[in-house]
Amino acid sequence: MIIVMGRLRIDAEAIEAAMPAARKVVAATQAEEGCLQYDYARDISDPEIFHIVERWTSREALAAHLKTPHVAEWIAILSGMTMKERHIKLYDTDEGEDL
């Protein structure tokens, strides 16, 4: 399983303006083959932080996702914003275990 985790720090006003596009990319991605989870969450302590959590069946599924039109549109929107911070990591892991 592939896990992608990260966070973006963007001006709170820009995040508000981007919410419709964020909802669109999340909904489209969650319907993709190989997507186990694709969620964005706004930080409860800092309104400028967006948390990213993705789980994919394979690197190939993630690679296909990155070539979709909805991702291209989302990247174009993000590129127009002033990104104060961007940290995104990919982890290749097993299925994990319940705690």
Q: Which domains are delineated in the chain?
A: 10-91 (3.30.70.100)
**23-38 core/surface letters (b: 16 or more CB in 10 A; e: else):** eebeebbeebebbeeb
- Region 9-30: what's the mean pLDDT? 91
Judged against a pLDDT cut of 90, whether residue 7 lies above it is answered with yes
Amino acid code (one letter) for 33: E
Positions of E strands within the chain? 2-10, 35-42, 49-56, 83-92
Kindly report, residue by residue over 58-69, the tens digit of the pLDDT: 999 999 999 999
pLDDT of residue 12: 80
pLDDT of residue 75: 92
Percent of the chain with pLDDT over 70: 100
Placement of tokens 């001006």 in the chain: 11
